[in-house]
Structure 1
Amino acid sequence: MTSFVRILSAAGLALGVALTAVSVSAQQKAPAPAAAPSLKEGSPAAIAAAKEILKMKNASAMYANAVPNIVLQTKESLLQSNLNYQKDLNEVATIVAKNLAGREQEIGDGMAKVYANEFTEQELKDLVTFYKSPLGQKLLASEPRAIQFSMSYMNQWAQQFSEIVNAQFRAEMRKRGKEI
């Protein structure tokens, strides 16, 4: 379970970084991104089942620190070009974090809508039943470790494969009389 929380924390951090990038790019007056695809409105029962699934999967751990992380990253970004306002920005970060505390729940609500958009109400109810079954409980308990090992394997494979790619680049460049 500890490794699952670490994986979810890392995912939460990645989410925070991604959201900060959106925030910073908005501050830099970048062109507006394309609108997110609209989701069909799920029934209250579908949303409730989706929220139950997300609760069983402890999905909230992924975004539990989203607000403080985004506030911190935004403050750090603003500090880079406003060093003389460090004291003020530190104070404002505390105020902003307090004002926006709890907003991370919007992520959970959005995730529930995504599930309700991707699965029928009955499928969601069936998933709840599955996750409550012995096999579903085993999946909930074992999946984080399997994901961790899978990520480790993928990283190891990518490292070895990049060496092969690098060697081929060098070989092809040697054929052209250029050592790199």
Structure 2
Amino acid sequence: MKSVFRILPAAGLALGLGLALAGLPAGAQQAAPGQPTIPGLKPASPAALAAAREILAMKNAAAMYQAAVPNIVQQTKDTLLQTNLNYQKDLNEVAVIVAQNLAGREKEIGEGMALVYANEFTEQELTALVAFYKSPLGQKLLMNEPRAIQMSMSYMNQWAQQFASIVNGEFRSEMRKRGKQI
């Protein structure tokens, strides 16, 4: 069973972005210069975006996607290698070039996340959240939440393993009632 901790950053990013975009209506409006265009989201005020960026920075959201470009380059190279084994040397060299050419593009994810936050919360709410995260309780939340999430995920893994054993026992018991040993 794969540990949740290995897939948590990528899964969190995919889930977070997927959930943010899933229920949105089609048809994007024109974004302000420098803002990403996300279908269904309205352009945000500079103040709302600034507050959203500050919240994301305090929450260290960039850690979720900092390796996005090299990871996608690697995945693409690996996919291409599956059908082009004779180009392995070239694809390895090209991967370095592509990664260098596209370095920094992961920041687009952060801008998109800020736009999502600016659409989900009013400018006043974002400002209040910034103030909260700067408060002693907010600082404690920022400091302790990653550990609390990690411990929760560890507990969930442990619970799932124990519960799977119970489910397995139930299956075996019900199959024995039918005269079948598994």
> Could you tell me which residue of structure 2 aligns to residue 118 of structure 1?
120
1:78 to 68, 77, 80: 80
Gaps of 5+ in 1: 1-6, 19-34
CA distance in 2, matches of 1:152, 1:12: 15
Structure 2 residue identity aligned to 1:136: G
How much does 1:42 deviate?
Answer: 2.2
Gaps of 5+ in 2: 15-25, 27-37
1:49 to 48, 51, 60: 51
Higher relative contact order by CA 8 Å / sep ≥ 6: 1 or 2?
1
CA contact (8 A) 1:71 1:96 kept: yes
CA contact (8 A) 1:67 1:104 kept: yes
CA contact (8 A) 1:50 1:116 kept: yes
> Could you tell me which residue of structure 2 aligns to residue 29 of structure 1?
none
Structure 1 residue identity aligned to 2:54: E
CA distance in 1, matches of 2:146, 2:44: 28
How much does 1:43 deviate?
Answer: 1.9
How much does 1:54 deviate?
Answer: 0.3
Structure 2 residue identity aligned to 1:103: R
CA contact (8 A) 1:15 1:63 kept: no
* Total equivalences in the alignment: 157
Secondary structure (helix, strand or coil) at the match of 1:58 reads coil
How much does 1:49 deviate?
Answer: 0.5
More helix by share: 1
Map 1:17-166 to 2 at 5 A.
Answer: 38-166=40-168
CA distance in 1, matches of 2:92, 2:8: 26
CA contact (8 A) 1:12 1:64 kept: no
CA distance in 1, matches of 2:48, 2:127: 8
Secondary structure (helix, strand or coil) at the match of 1:42 reads coil
> Could you tell me which residue of structure 2 aligns to residue 171 of structure 1?
173
Question: TM-score, with normalisation over the residues of structure 1?
Answer: 0.80
Percent pairwise identity: 75
Question: TM-score, with normalisation over the residues of structure 2?
Answer: 0.79
CA contact (8 A) 1:15 1:66 kept: no
